[in-house]
Structure 1
C-alpha cells in the first residue's frame, strides 16, 4: 500500500509555536508523549479527548504506529526559517569547507519544493542518483559461513567445535567482492525510509523506488542497530555527499532506528544542533583566512582540580595553536521581551575567565539587539579593562552571502585581538 493511502491522521505543527489542541485517543496521545518527538504532549484540561501538542527544536516528519490501534499518526513539524535556508544550514553541517567556498544556496539541492518532506526527498534522491551514475559501488567484505566446498581458508577452531572435525560442511572464511557493503546499505536504508513517508512527490517516489531496486544486493539495516561504519576513500568519493546526507536521516535523532515497541518512521532535524554546526563550521572556515585555528567543543576545566568540565562551542587560537584569542558560543534562541537569558552571559564569562580572555561572543539565531556589549563589573581582563561580552543576532532569513559576511566580520575581529601572554 502506498503510504499516502494508509489509514491514519496527519498533524501539522510549527517549530516552537504555541501549543495546539488536537483530538487524539488516549493510546496515541500517550505514545506521542513518550516518543520524544515533541517538546510537550499533555491532555487538554479544557477539552475532553484532546491533547495539547507543542513542537520544540525538532523539525521534519515522522509516522507513528501505535501497537494498541490499527491506525497511524503522521506528525509534520515545519521550521521557522524558510526551507531553502534550512538546507543551506544543512549543507554547512555536512561539508563546511565546500559550503564556505561555494558561498551560495544549493550545497544541498532542495529543488523547487517549499516543504521539508518533499525537499529532503528530492535532495536525497538527487544525491543517490549522482552516486550511482557510474554504477553500484562494490568492495570486499569478510564472509564466514558453512559450505560444501572449500573456498578461502578453513576456520579450524569452528570446524572442530561445530562438526568435530568431520567434513562436509566446512567452516570457511573468505573475502567476497560484493555490492553488500556499508555504503550501499546506508543509501538503500535512506531511500526506504523516505518511501515509507507520505508527502513524497510522485516523481521523486518513483525514482527512489528505482534506486532501491538498484541497491537490492545490499542487506537492509536492522532497526535499532547502529549504522554500519564506512571510511572515506578515493574509491567511494562519488558516494560521500549522498552518504553524509543519508546519515542525517538515519543516524542520531532519526527515530526510525530507536529500539522499542513503539514504531516511528521518518526523520527529524534538531535545529539546536544544526544552528550550532552552522555557526561553528562557518566561523572555523572564516578564521582560517586570518591564519587562526579553531577547535570545536574544546575541553577545559573551570576548577583547578579538573572536576568541573566546560566545553565552549568554538575557541579560536593564534597561529601557534596554543594561545587562545577568542571564544564563541552559539545559541538557537530568539530574543524575548526581557532580552536574552542572563545564564548565557554567565556561561561565556566563565569561558573568558578560564581561557584568560577579555572578550567573549554569543551568537543567537535571531533578535532585535545585535551587537550589544556588556562590560562585566569588577572584572579585570588581561589588558586591564573589564571583560566584555558581545551578543550577536543572525537573521536566518537573509541570503547566504550576507550571513557569511557576518562571520567574516567576527573572524576579523578575533584576528585583530592582541596576543595575550598568560601567566
Structure 2
C-alpha cells in the first residue's frame, strides 16, 4: 500500500509540474514506483526514452499511450534506481529494506546485520545499502588474502622457463635471444578475483554512494592489485566450485548481482543509463535455497538451478529452481515465486477460482481477466508439476512471498501422481519471525520428502 501511494503521488506530481511548465528543459523528471506496478501517463523526453530502452524490458518497460509524447512506465521484479539524462525512476520494493538486505546477505550475519547495514535499512536507501552488502561480502571473502591458482602463460623470456615452444622458435628464429616459453604461474590473477574486482569497480561507478561506502570500495580495489581487468565473456561463464574457492561462493553470487545491476550501458564515454537494480525474483530464489541448504544438511542436499530431462529421449529439458535430494536420489522439486501476480478483484459467489483460493486471512478473489489468471497460475504451478512427474515424485512445492489471491495449500491434478503444495514466506516479518518461518518451511520439506 505504501508503494502504491508513492506511485500515485509521484506520477501526479510529475504530470502537474509538466502541465504547469514548472520543469525546466534540463531538469530531471523523477518518478517513484513500487515493483510490479504501472505509473500514470508521464511525458518523457525522447532522449530519455531511448536511454531507458537500453536498460532492457525485463527491468523497466515503456508502454505507449494515445499521446505520442507520453508513456506509461511499468516495473517488474527489479528494484532500485535507473537514472538517464532528464529522467529518473526509483523502484521501491514491497518489503522492508531489512528484508532485502537479509536476502542479499544470506547466512553471513556480519554482512547482513551489521550496524551500518541496519542504519541503511532504516534510511531506506536501497542503492547504498545493497552496495555495502556486496562490498562486505567481498571483504569477508578476501580478508585472509586473495585466492591464488595456477594459470598457463606464454611469454618471451631471456631465460628458459617451463617449456620452450620450439615450433614458434622455428618460425621466428630471430627471437632466439628471447624465445617464447610456456609455464604455469601461481598467481592471484584468476577468474574468481576477476569477478570480485569487476563488482567493486561497478560499485565505484555508481552515483549517490555515501562517502563511507565509497571509501570501503576504494580500499577493496587496492586489495586486488595485480589482478587484471576482466574480459566480459569470462564473467559470463559459470565458475565451478571446488574445495579451494568454496569460501568465495557467497561473494561471487553477490558480485554477479552487482555486475548485472550496476551501470547498464555507456555510450561513447557519455552516460546513457546509470543504474543499480536488484532482481528480487532471483534474490528470493537464492535466499530460499541457501536457508534450506543450511537447515536440511546433512540428511538432504539442496541444489539450485538443476537441469532436468522431461522426456525419455531428453529432447525436452527444464531447469528446476531447487531440487532436494537424499541418499536415494531426488525427493522434492521446489519452485520459488516472489510475486504471484495481483490482477484480481473480490470474488462473487459462483465465480471460478482456477488454482487459487482465499486461503489464510485474505478474502477469496477471482481474476479480473480469467485467461490472464490461468496463465499466471500455470506459470507458477504447472512447471514444478511437470518436473515432479518427470522424476516420478509424489509432490512438488511452490514457495512464494506475495500473492493477493492466496494459492491453495495443496493442488492435485487428475490422472497424475504428483500434488503441488504451496508455502508462504512472510518477508514483512522481523528477522526472528522470518527465521522461525523458515524453520517451519524446512520441517514441511522434510515431511514432503518422506
TM-based fold match above 0.5: yes
Matches within 5 A, 1:20-59: 21-36=41-56, 38-46=59-67, 48=69, 50-59=70-79
How far does the alpha carbon of each residue in 1:109-165 deviate from its partner, in whole angstroms, 9 at most, with x for none? 73421212111222233344445555666665433223455555432222233x235
Match of 2:113 in 1: 106
Counterpart of 1:394? 425
Distance 2:217 2:42 in 1: 33
Decide whether the 8 Å contact of 1:224 with 1:257 is kept in 2. no
Structure 1 distance, partners of 2:292, 2:405, is 21
Aligned residues: 388
How much does 1:85 deviate? 0.8
Partner residue, 2:398: 362
CA gap of 1:150–1:220, structure 2 versus 1, over 3 A, is: same
CA distance 1:167–1:107, shift in 2 (3 Å) = same
Deviation at 1:393, TM superposition (A): 2.4
Q: What does 1:105-144 correspond to in 2, within 5 Å? A: 106=113, 110-113=117-120, 114-131=124-141, 133-134=143-144, 140-144=150-154
Q: Which has the higher helix share?
A: 2
Cα 1:107/1:370, change in 2 over 3 Å: farther
Match of 1:277 among 281, 286, 296: 286
Q: Is the 8 A contact 1:369 1:393 kept in 2?
A: no
Instruction: Tell me how large the CA RMSD over aligned residues is.
Output: 4.1
Tell me, yes or no, if the aligned pair for 1:103 and 1:404 is still in contact at 8 Å: no
SS at match of 1:314: strand
The answer on 1:314 being equivalent to 2:350 is no
Go from structure 1 to structure 2 and tell me whether the alpha carbon gap of 1:8 and 1:228 turns closer, same or farther (over 3 Å shift).
Answer: farther
- Report the Cα offset of residue 53 of structure 1: 1.9
**Against the structure 1 CA distance between its residues 400 and 234, is the aligned structure 2 distance closer, same or farther, given a 3 Å change threshold?**
same
Of 231-240 and 341-350, the range deviating more from structure 2: 231-240
Q: Name the SS of the counterpart of 1:110 in structure 2.
A: helix
Bigger mean CA deviation after superposition, 30-39 or 195-204: 30-39
TM-score by length of 1: 0.73
Deviating more after overlay: 165-174 vs 227-236: 227-236
More relative contact order, 1 or 2 (CA 8 Å, 6+ apart): 1
Q: Alpha-carbon deviations, 1:222-275, whole Å to 9, x = none?
A: 45653688676777677665444323322xx34658899796555432222222
* Distance across 2 between alignment mates of 1:145 and 1:42: 54
Residues of 2 paired with 1:232 and 1:377: CA distance? Answer: 38
Q: Which runs of 5+ in 1 are unaligned?
A: 1-6, 65-70, 93-97, 382-386
1:342 aligns with 2:356: no
Is the CA contact 1:186–1:228 (under 8 Å) kept in the aligned structure 2?
A: no
| 2:205 paired residue number | 196
Mark the runs of 5 or more structure 2 residues left unpaired by the alignment: 1-25, 345-365, 368-372
| Aligned residues of 2:153 and 2:183 also touching (Cα < 8 A) | yes
Alignment of 1:232-381 (within 5 A): 241-250=250-259, 253-254=260-261, 256=263, 266-288=275-297, 291-303=299-311, 305-317=313-325, 319-321=327-329, 324=331, 326-334=332-340, 336=342, 337=344, 338=366, 341-343=376-378, 344-367=380-403, 372-374=408-410, 376=412, 378-379=414-415, 381=417
Q: Report the counterpart of residue 439 of structure 2 in structure 1.
A: 408
Q: 1:195 to 1:149 in 2, by over 3 A?
A: same
Partner of 2:328: helix, strand, or coil? coil
Aligned to 1:172: 181
TM, length-normalised to structure 2: 0.69
How much does 1:198 deviate? Answer: 0.8
Task: Determine if contact 2:111/2:137 at 8 Å carries over to the other structure.
Answer: no
